[in-house]
Structure 1
């Protein structure tokens, strides 16, 4: 059967269409789906478009932000209050891609893509998932990523994050062979809140170091309760690769990713460009 495109006016309608056909796919920004279509991996089936304006809106309440899953990287870059996420949004392709690539779509990008999701993971994001009718349920992004692809997860309607009180507490770094828009060798995001000169509640996330973005929990443990000084950074470097499962691909080898990870982690932690 040829490709069929249906437009849903509400999230519930879209969720119902997706639930009724396990092969159906949501067509949001199209940077993933259209690539599969153009390269012949997708030749038939149902594509669902969601026309609900809320799907492409950003709602702010104090430091809490809800991104409609259809919000694009270009939209994020236009908002000054989201400046701490601009580095991660700017890491997504060039201007043409950023005009189309969405927050929700980035959650499903296969490694070594998905740089914006790495930033969201460091910020302890919640994914709002709608299954059929009713209200969306909140799923921790870490849990969402762990279960991605195992079973139909429903329609992602939004992503919620709490912005850091101090923008300097959040750092993002993408390493690529081609700048500024090359595919990631790896990416790192770090939330490093401090109290009394010591790190409290560090959250570190990696991209391209496992099949999905992951937390660097050994690094978090090495930093918590410590001043962010040379000794703490050395301790973080020593456990940087713990729990990682990088792949070898056209961008970099598994060996290379493991070798350069501690170097770039140290640079990010020390505030180097």
Structure 2
């Protein structure tokens, strides 16, 4: 039997989740309610959070913080988050975007989770609260690595440094059905430049491994280089390093491997989709 608990504070919700391993947070419901409706989730406690802090956005300073309950529609409504509009727009259609949350996207199974790919390219941190204690920040990459084990606490927010030049954040989602199909793969790249050369490159993929992943081989070859054709060609050659794509109903492993270098090259060159 399913029980629903409504919590007025993040600490109350965190306390329930830490004390009951069968308890599950329900944000926008795009993931959890599908499991409920299709009969895969029939027992446990569903936890709802009404704390306004869960949906707060701090977007104007050097450090951006987005509450885990912030929806994709809220991101799209913010002019100051224009650099995240492309990944937010890649999440379903308008109705889904009014419900789908940033926190929920962190738990989306491959080939979903495109917004998380963009956060990974921004070197984001996840803010976690366990029980009634204070929150702590963890690198998103570490959070994803331990996601399936659970027990990390309630995700309350994500944080990242605001891009100094929004045009240096690139995102591309490849899908067979446009504009809201499921990803064949997605790519995000944050490529700040200094004196015309890439500095602190961050590149991430979706649907090219069991979890969103950093493309460290691509980062390595782009670091310190001008973003010219030789650098782009080197990035394409390193594109598949560390990749473990799956074959599913959307695409085969072979197809994902074939098209990734092509779309990475187009993204880095600024070519239209």
- Taking the aligned partners of 1:168 and 1:19, their CA distance within structure 2 comes to 40
Residue 255 (structure 2) aligns with: 256
1:165 aligns with 2:164: yes
SS of residue paired to 2:225: coil
- Taking the aligned partners of 1:63 and 1:266, their CA distance within structure 2 comes to 30
- Taking the aligned partners of 1:220 and 1:226, their CA distance within structure 2 comes to 10
1:11 aligns with 2:10: yes
- Taking the aligned partners of 1:78 and 1:61, their CA distance within structure 2 comes to 14
* TM-score computed with the length of structure 1 as normaliser: 0.98
- Taking the aligned partners of 1:150 and 1:241, their CA distance within structure 2 comes to 27
Spell out structure 1 runs of 4+ moving beyond 2 A.
Answer: none
Deviations 1:128-187 (A, max 9, x none): 000012211000001101111113111000011112111111000000000000000000
Residue 36 (structure 1) aligns with: 35
SS of residue paired to 2:47: strand
Residue 69 (structure 1) aligns with: 68
Residue 110 (structure 2) aligns with: 111
Residue 26 (structure 2) aligns with: 27
- Taking the aligned partners of 2:69 and 2:180, their CA distance within structure 1 comes to 21
Residue 120 (structure 2) aligns with: 121
* TM-score computed with the length of structure 2 as normaliser: 0.98
Q: CA shift at 1:17, angstroms?
A: 0.6
- Taking the aligned partners of 1:10 and 1:81, their CA distance within structure 2 comes to 27
Superposed, 1:210-221 pairs within 5 Å as 210-221=209-220
Q: CA shift at 1:22, angstroms?
A: 0.3
Residue 243 (structure 1) aligns with: 242
Q: CA shift at 1:20, angstroms?
A: 1.4
- Taking the aligned partners of 1:182 and 1:209, their CA distance within structure 2 comes to 17
SS of residue paired to 1:221: helix
- Taking the aligned partners of 1:224 and 1:211, their CA distance within structure 2 comes to 26
SS of residue paired to 2:59: strand
In structure 1, stretches of 5+ residues that fail to align are none
- Taking the aligned partners of 2:62 and 2:259, their CA distance within structure 1 comes to 34
Q: CA shift at 1:59, angstroms?
A: 1.4
- Taking the aligned partners of 2:187 and 2:229, their CA distance within structure 1 comes to 19
- Taking the aligned partners of 1:50 and 1:62, their CA distance within structure 2 comes to 26
- Taking the aligned partners of 1:238 and 1:184, their CA distance within structure 2 comes to 22
Q: CA shift at 1:60, angstroms?
A: 2.7
Q: CA RMSD in A?
A: 0.7
Q: CA shift at 1:190, angstroms?
A: 0.3
Residue 142 (structure 1) aligns with: 141
Contact 2:57–2:65 (CA under 8 A) maintained in structure 1: yes
Residue 189 (structure 1) aligns with: 188
Deviations 1:29-78 (A, max 9, x none): 00000010111110121000011011011013423211110000000000
Deviations 1:99-150 (A, max 9, x none): 0000000000000000000000000101000001221100000110111111
